[in-house]
Amino acid sequence: MPDTVSSRGLSPIDTAKYAAARRAVEFVQNGMKVGLGTGSTADWMVRLLGQKVRQDNLHILCVPTSKRTADLAHAQGLALTTLDEAQWLDLTIDGADEFDAELNLIKGGGGALLHEKIVATASDQMIVISDVSKQVDTLGAFPLPVEVIPFGLQSTRALIEETLVSMDVAGRKTTLRRNGDALFKTDEGNHIIDLHVQRIGHARQLALALNQLPGVVENGLFIDTCDLVLIGHGDGHVDAQGIHDPAAAEDMALGGKNIFTDL
């Protein structure tokens, strides 16, 4: 049986992640089909969701976005399925590397951006869980991941750099993501080129331009995908930000109250 997930002894940053994740799993109801994101904040969510399922005797099906998440979810006793079998999801809960006021995201720091985007797009609702450090005025400080196929890797990289010249960005440096001495490989066997653009003036334009390039599989800009962001703080407080109605977002997030008051 997995251990009970506790907030005791956590650092402020882990407390913030725990807080956002705990609030997010309260949206999961019996019978739902749920997409599980990838990353350090999503790891908290998976563990807390496993605990909720056990405590409340919920029957849900989960679609993981990576092998890493699948392994953790299996260890938590969550019932897993594939997206093809589920066909459509009620909810996806995931983290983000950056988000702006319009809930545009940069994702892919964990290397699962392709699966994450497919799963999020196949969901009625996407909730992002984050700490306050991921909130930005303008996307781009976090390197933008672009997943590319291995064939013609350097040619694709050159095309990307050439494309950046005509984009509203502040930098055009690119790097090939590595895993030790080898190139990083995604779960689909592809590679990732990180774009150090510093600032993205028009995220939608950049996303469309990148995905038109031969060799590019997908980019880490998530536009018009996220419905609600739950922002955890080091004291356990959770704020909510929704694109359409911030007041309704607060209600959805149970008033943004401190999660530790009911422990």
Catalytic sites, residue numbers: 116
> Looking at the structure, do residues 163 and 54 belong to the same domain, yes or no?
no
Residue 7 lies in a domain: no
Both tokens of residue 223?
């536009």
Determine, yes or no, domain membership for 249: yes
Taking CA atoms, 126 is separated from 16, 100, 115, 118, 228, in Å, by 19, 15, 14, 12, 7
Q: Are residues 38 and 161 both part of a single domain?
A: no
Count of domains for the chain: 2
Same domain, 77 and 112: yes
- Is residue 2, in this structure, part of any structural domain at all? no
User: Could you tell me the maximum CA-CA distance found in the chain, to the nearest angstrom?
Assistant: 55
Residues pairing with 135 in the sheet: 99
5 in a structural domain: no
CATH number of the domain enclosing 117? 3.40.50.1360
Residue 56 and residue 82 in one domain: yes
The last residue of a domain, from among 218, 233, 250: 218
Q: Which amino acid is at 96?
A: A
Of 72, 51, 44, 49, the closest CA to residue 61 belongs to: 49
Domain region containing 208: 144-218
Domain identity same for 151 and 248: no
Distance CA 28, CA 66 (A): 20
Instruction: State whether 232 and 107 are in the same domain.
Output: yes
Task: Say if residue 74 is in the same domain as residue 129.
Answer: yes
CA distance linking residue 194 with residue 88, whole number of Å? 30
Nearest of 82, 78, 71, 116 to residue 97 by alpha carbon: 116
| Domain-located, residue 245 | yes
The span from the CA of 50 to the CA of 177, in Å, is 32
Q: What is the DSSP string of 184-232?
A: P--TTS-EEEEEE-S-BS-HHHHHHHHHTSTTEEEESEE-S---EEEEE
Residue 6, domain member (yes or no): no
Q: What is the pLDDT along the chain (263 residues), one digit of tens a residue?
A: 465 666 668 899 999 999 999 999 999 999 999 999 999 999 999 999 999 999 999 999 999 999 999 999 999 999 999 999 999 999 999 999 999 999 999 999 999 999 999 999 999 999 999 999 999 999 999 999 999 999 999 999 999 999 999 999 999 999 999 999 999 999 999 999 999 999 999 999 999 999 999 999 999 999 999 999 999 999 999 999 996 554 445 555 444 444 443 33
Pairing of strands 61-64, 182-183: unpaired
My answer on whether 148 and 208 are in the same domain is yes
Distance CA 69, CA 25 (A): 16
Q: CA angle at residue 166 from 161 to 167, to 5 degrees?
A: 85
Task: Return the structure tokens found at 215.
Answer: 């060799």
Strand order across the beta sheet in which 238-242 lies:
61-64, 33-36, 91-94, 126-131, 228-232, 238-242
User: pTM here?
Assistant: 0.91
Question: Do residues 239 and 233 lie in contact, with contact meaning Cβ atoms separated by under 8 Å?
Answer: yes
* CATH number for position 151: 3.30.70.260
